[in-house]
A and B are shown apart, each in its own frame.
Chain A
Amino acid sequence: MIGNLLYILFSGVAYGVLLFLMSAGLAVTQGLMRFANLAHAAFAMLGGYVAVTLMNAEGWPFLLTLPVAALATAIFAGVLERLLFRRFYNVSQLYQIMLTVGIVSMSVASVTFIWGSVNQPVRMPDYLSSSIQIGNFDIDKYRLFLILAGGLVVWALIYGIDSTSFGAKVRAAVDNRRVTSSCGINVDRLFMLAFFIGSALAGLGGALSVNLVGLSPTFALDFLAYVLIVVTLGGHGSMKGALAAALLLGVVDVAGKYYIPQTGPFIIYALTVIVLFWRPHGLFAKA
């Protein structure tokens, strides 16, 4: 019994790490600019396609595609931010949602046009594609890799936010934008950088998720709800909040499916509602 529980934790944490990578960037940019960027899930999808294309068409090794997928996504998102998004920072969130939902739809159509609507084939290197048998449990090496790689990224992020001057500026701007900019900090540039890093994370998350959940043009739509739940539960602008929310969501989702599969997707929405009743601004939001 305890073995089952540990296994559920393991699977859930691996899934949570994926959700965190895909949502972390949005949590920060949402906190900084109050910009409702639903296109964030489309950035994750782009990262997935970049990685798959490099592997299949160019024969790149999997690990090498990861930084490139992150970088390519960040550049694409950065261009989009400069050309388009920044014009919408001071309008109501309804317009922002209309704009970014439109971009999600366009991303689905563009991806279908370029890569077709079939699921993308992806082959992992041998050291990631087998599993380690412990008792009745097959520990999927890929999930293990996800947890390790994700842990590394999480550590780097938390260190970056907590202990660098860039992180201090970001925290200051999230708390109070006007005071921060009156201190001579260029919040616009700060935001650009945060947006760039956040999109890179999304691209990385997308690239890492392909082997586990597959990749087709509806990817952006499939993960949109999860990403929004993570950001809402975590609290805008909180990296630790997003991490806690993603892990909670991953574990509760997997545990719910295992112990009470009859409830279907209900369990994660119930979790969302309960958490928001308790903490309306998210787990780690400042009161």
Chain B
Amino acid sequence: MKRYRFVIVLALAMLVLGSGAVLGQQTPIRIGIIYSFSGAGGTAGKEFDDVVAVFQKQHGDTINGRKVEIIRRDDGGIAPDNAKRLAQELVVQQHVDVLAGLIFTPNAVAVGTVSTQAKMPVFIVNATTSNIMAKNPYMSRYSMTATQVTVPLAKYAYKTGQRNMYVVFMDYGPGIDSGQTFESAFTAEGGKIAGEIRVPVTATDFSAYLQRVKDAKPDGMYIFLNASGAGTAFLKQAKAQGLGGAGIKIFCSGDLVTEQSLPAIGDAAAGVISSMNYSGTHDSKMNRDFVKAFMAQSGGLPPTFGGVGTYDTFTAIYKVLEAQKGQIDPDKTMDLVKALKFESPRGPIAIDPDTRDIIQNVYIRRTELKGGKLVNTEIDTYPMVKDPSEHA
């Protein structure tokens, strides 16, 4: 009994002390994060945390004198139900001011319904499928769309003499979107599609596919494969099977040859042409500073487009919240979002007021060995591209 009373007294004391601490200063600004910190998205989760640490070192952890409180939730991968439940919890119980994060499109779509119902601004860090925000007026995106980077690559392939391309993509949503986007963009330029292969998500041996491509003797091959596994093995096998020797150029989306996956691909990545919204070697002071600060934080790992998306998401959040003294209002927030335009480590970016989607440069890069290290060198730029499918 005595011990029981002691516990009650202790609890009361803590309650009093705790509320005193809160009353002593202004209420914090709460940013709810839904991201993948475990499972297949684990690498991205680590990068996210490192970028947030870098960002707050540079820009502080207060906005207008109010402490910024970041409440992280792990959606554990592609899990729309889970993401939706987490969004509800963050909105209803944690009273967050804004939501941010989201790697996977299905999760983003699920969170979209919560966003619209609760008038909750959501800042999307990745989730690159076109048109997912059309029905959700409180969402905005700081990554890219697959279409946005694929169309310029198809144009570039045609411009540099490719007339006959083989298209190989993984047989799942993003893969099909990307492969078909490339096919239609390339044929619109006047090119021909030599053939198409849909690779099962579970495939680990690609020798048969590669031989099929070789048999068709195309000028080049566009590939879209899951960067975390298949893509690396595919490129290595392509080299072993002599596709380069047969004069077949490889084109791909930049997420296959990110700064973090290049060491695993090794020599097989050399010569690959990719398109992306960011390259680690982008030549600007801001990017050099960002890369340096990030690598100090991450223990030597270089940042990828995902990290830059995170960085820009936080820049956007800080900018729109700083502009609102006092109460944070969702409609005011969205007005400010639509006018966003700032310099990012990737180059200039802006938010399209019509679609709340990002407008940015798309860089064509060649992967090459420089100073003993594989890097993506920018060789062409398509300036300030809007997602073509959202402006049809």
Contacts and interface: CB of A to CB of B under 8 A. Distances in A.
Contacts of B265: 119, 121
A118 B205 contact: no
Contacts of B263: 121
B211 A117 contact: no
Interface size class of B (residues with CB under 8 A): 35 or more
A123 B372 CA distance: 14
Contact of B42 (A7, A117, A138): A117
Contact of A119 (B171, B208, B232, B240): B232
Given A15-B205, A225-B202, A118 B261 contact: yes
Given A109-B38, A218-B229, A119 B211 contact: no
A238 interface: no
Contact of B211 (A7, A211, A225): A7
A280 interface: no
A222 B229 contact: yes
Nearest to A7: B211
Contact of A218 (B40, B197, B211): B40
A142 B241 CA distance: 11
Contact of B242 (A116, A138, A261): A138
Contacts of B230: 214
B56 interface: no
Contacts of B232: 119, 214
Interface in A242-287: 250, 253-258, 261-262, 264-265
B205 A213 contact: yes
Contacts of B43: 116-118
Interface in A113-161: 116-123, 129, 131, 133, 136-138, 140, 142-143
A112 interface: yes
B286 to A, nearest CB: 26
Contact of A213 (B171, B212, B233, B245): B233
Given A112-B42, A123-B266, A262-B198, A257 B209 contact: yes
A38 B260 CA distance: 31
Given A11-B207, A261-B197, A265-B203, A118 B240 contact: no
A73 interface: no
Contact of A254 (B40, B208, B215, B245): B208
Nearest to B263: A121
Interface string B228-243: 1110110011001110
B204 interface: yes
A222 B204 contact: yes
Nearest to A15: B205
Interface residues of A, number: 45
B212 A264 contact: no
Interface in A199-232: 211-214, 216-218, 222-223, 225
B40 A117 contact: yes
A257 B203 contact: yes
A7 B208 CA distance: 9
B229 A138 contact: no
A8 interface: yes
B205 A261 contact: no
B71 to A, nearest CB: 23
A7 to B, nearest CB: 6
A138 B266 contact: no
A4 interface: yes
Nearest to A11: B207
A70 B229 CA distance: 23
A214 B46 CA distance: 21
A118 B264 contact: yes
A211 B236 contact: yes
B200 interface: yes
Count chain B CB atoms within 10 A of each CB in A4, A109, A118, A258 and give the residue with the most: A118
B214 interface: yes
Contact of B233 (A112, A121, A137, A214): A214
28 contacts: A4-B211, A112-B42, A117-B42, A119-B232, A119-B264, A121-B264, A122-B264, A122-B266, A131-B242, A143-B240, A212-B233, A212-B237, A213-B205, A213-B233, A214-B236, A216-B228, A218-B40, A218-B229, A222-B202, A222-B204, A250-B205, A254-B207, A257-B205, A257-B209, A258-B209, A258-B211, A261-B208, A264-B198
Closest 10 CB pairs of A and B: A138-B242, A257-B208, A258-B208, A119-B264, A11-B207, A117-B42, A265-B200, A214-B233, A213-B204, A140-B240
Interface of B: 38, 40, 42-43, 46, 171, 197-200, 202-209, 211-212, 214-215, 228-230, 232-233, 236-237, 240-242, 245, 260-261, 263-266
Given A119-B232, A140-B237, A216-B228, 17 more contacts: A112-B38, A122-B266, A131-B241, A143-B207, A143-B240, A211-B236, A212-B205, A212-B237, A214-B230, A254-B207, A254-B208, A256-B208, A257-B209, A257-B212, A262-B198, A264-B200, A265-B200
